[in-house]
Amino acid sequence: MKRLSWDQYFMAQSHLLANRSTCNRLAVGATIARDKRIIAGGYNGSIAGGVHCIDEGCYLIDGHCVRTIHAEMNAILQCAKFGASTNGAEMYVTHFPCLQCCKAIIQAGIKSIYYANDYKNHPYAVELFESSGVDMIKVEFENIFEDEYSEEKLAFVADLLAKLKEQGAEDSEIKDMYEQAQLIFSNGA
């Protein structure tokens, strides 16, 4: 087994956190690390105990959902709540931060932002990061949880099912088994 680099390790944590998102439009996760240790994590969602977008839809004003707190802000606020300094820390986020999060990241003293996906990279956010000396590093994320052989496995099962059909298995049984195999080997996709 290949050992993950630190960047891949922290980015994997951010992608895992994104799975907790309650946003219908985009799931984002953020991890704050210092000295190769995770000090906080966040995902985009509603305030604690509040109504979630996945339950009632987004609350849009001028094309922006005002119900959610962005992943980056949630991670920074977690540090504030529990007394962990963000000064000199690094942030790993699944998507390039918005302009408002950019300003919070700078003010929190975070020195580097690592991101996996470009997302509406605002030119002023890039300018602010550069003028503040915050490094912006795009990390190509390798999803270690994906099964690189899923297509081959599904093809193998399809061949087996074809042989079962030749042996007289019912079409409905074959169809059900193939659909089940698709779910298993494609992680529900």
List, in sequence order, every residue forming a beta bridge with 63; answer none if it has no partner: none
**Cα distance between residue 57 and residue 108, in whole Å:** 31
Active site residue 72: yes
C-alpha 13/C-alpha 31 separation (Å) is 7
Q: Residue 32: in which H helix or E strand, if any?
A: strand 29-34
User: Which residue in the list 72, 127, 148, 166 is annotated as catalytic?
Assistant: 72
User: Residue with structure tokens 């690592």?
Assistant: 114
Alpha-carbon span 134 to 170, nearest angstrom: 62
Identify whether the C-beta of residue 69 lies closer than 8 Å to the C-beta of residue 94: no
Q: Which helix (H) or strand (E) holds 39?
A: strand 37-43
Give the residue numbers annotated as catalytic, written as ranges: 72
